[in-house]
Amino acid sequence: MSDGRVSVVSKVAVVTGAGSGVGRAVALELLEAGWSVVLAGRREEALAETARLAGGGPPAPVVPTDVASPQRVEALFAAVRERFGRLDLLFNNAGSFGPRGVALADLAYEDWRSVVDTNLTGAFLCAQAAFRLMRDQEPQGGRIINNGSISAHAPRPDSVAYTATKHAITGLTKSLSLDGRRYRIACGQIDIGNAATEMTERMPAGVPQANGEVAAEPVMDVADVARTVRHMASLPLEANVQFATVMATAMPYIGRG
């Protein structure tokens, strides 16, 4: 019996932040579904581990990239163009939470700037480079999926930098969707809540809540996020999942605060 997968051997994707967490899970899901996937991220060793985990099939190219650097982002997409000649999907995923447990009044400018540079400027730079490639290629078009967050809707305590950038990602998604119409470039956003990754390891032990308490929070399998991204990516360019929220069912988001 078919599992519903569509053969997309000719499709090419870039996944940023592919060395761990959601990025690694999505990269492996796309590779299993037959995509050619370029793995981008800061840590070459972690990217190589993702490539090893993929098992059989053509090796996934590893391109160490700091998404906050315009030069490194330009080099990443130049490598994609040189190797594959086109790009069908960017999963714009690289991100940083920044220092945890630091009150807004005590957040250092350098820490604020680091989160903004990675989460917002990095997402813009990658989207812009992907947009240019998709606009100019034949056949024209492609898809960008931005990793938003539940924090694109509701903040956690002491998370001003992360929350501000994730709200901004929503604006980036909408602008890309509008400006991409004439070039057959679709853009959607996946907002993720409590996927089991390195970033959420502390959830079951308890994290600060809006009412000042510390409480354990449930997590979900990151594979469920990856399958959702694969579905969004598999749609024809005439259809788009504009916003999708995938979360642990019982996490305190609906009614947060």
Strand 214-215 relative to strand 207-208, pairing? antiparallel
Question: Is residue 13 helix, strand or coil?
Answer: strand
Backbone angles phi, psi at 161, to 5 degrees: -70, -50
| Cis ω for the linkage preceding 64 (within 30 of 0) | no
Retrieve residue 140's tokens: 């024209």
C-alpha to C-alpha distance for 120 and 172, rounded to whole angstroms: 9
Catalytic residue among 109, 162, 183, 253: 162
- For this structure, is 162 an active site residue? yes
The token pair at 192 is: 């993720």
Q: What is residue 60's DSSP assignment?
A: P
Distance from the first to the final alpha carbon of the chain: 45
DSSP β-bridge partners for residue 62: 39
> Among all residues, which ones are annotated catalytic?
162
